[in-house]
């Protein structure tokens, strides 16, 4: 159950980071309102705070988080940008999640 809780926290963390970066992208690339920078900053602040809620050492959390971030970014590509991921995208996600599992579930010194 702890693994599911951590995975859920990783997913929420990734969404906060993606939203915090996507909104300025909309402003810069699609001439949207500069007011998007306000929720973007709040989202990035939430992202930083969410990273502190993970129970592992910071470096390990950041390393493992990368795998989940890549996965969520690919889902964002599909859901928001309406670009269907390729087979190699999915293979890459599988490799990243495998690496994340090795990092998070690996043996620890006593």
pLDDT in tens, 38-91: 999 999 999 999 988 877 767 777 888 888 899 999 999 999 999 999 999 999
Domain that holds residue 79: 2-105
Residue 110: inside a domain: no
Q: Identify which of 13, 20, 19 has the alpha carbon closest to the alpha carbon of residue 52.
A: 13
Residue 68: inside a domain: yes
Report the C-alpha gap between 39 and 45 in whole angstroms. 10
Residue 44: inside a domain: yes
CB-based contacts of 4: which residues, under 8 Å, 6+ apart? none
Residue 84: inside a domain: yes
Residue 97: inside a domain: yes
Number of domains in the chain: 1
């Amino acid at each position: 159950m702890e693994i599911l809780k951590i995975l859920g926290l990783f997913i929420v963390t990734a969404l906060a980071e993606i939203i915090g970066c996507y909104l300025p992208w909309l402003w810069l690339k699609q001439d949207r309102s500069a007011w998007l920078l306000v929720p973007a900053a709040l989202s990035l602040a939430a992202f930083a705070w969410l990273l502190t809620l993970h129970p592992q050492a910071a470096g390990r959390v950041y390393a493992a988080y990368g795998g989940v971030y890549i996965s969520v970014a690919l889902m964002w590509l599909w859901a928001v940008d309406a670009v269907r991921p390729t087979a190699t995208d999915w293979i890459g996600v599988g490799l990243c999640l495998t690496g994340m599992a090795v990092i998070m579930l690996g043996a620890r010194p006593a």
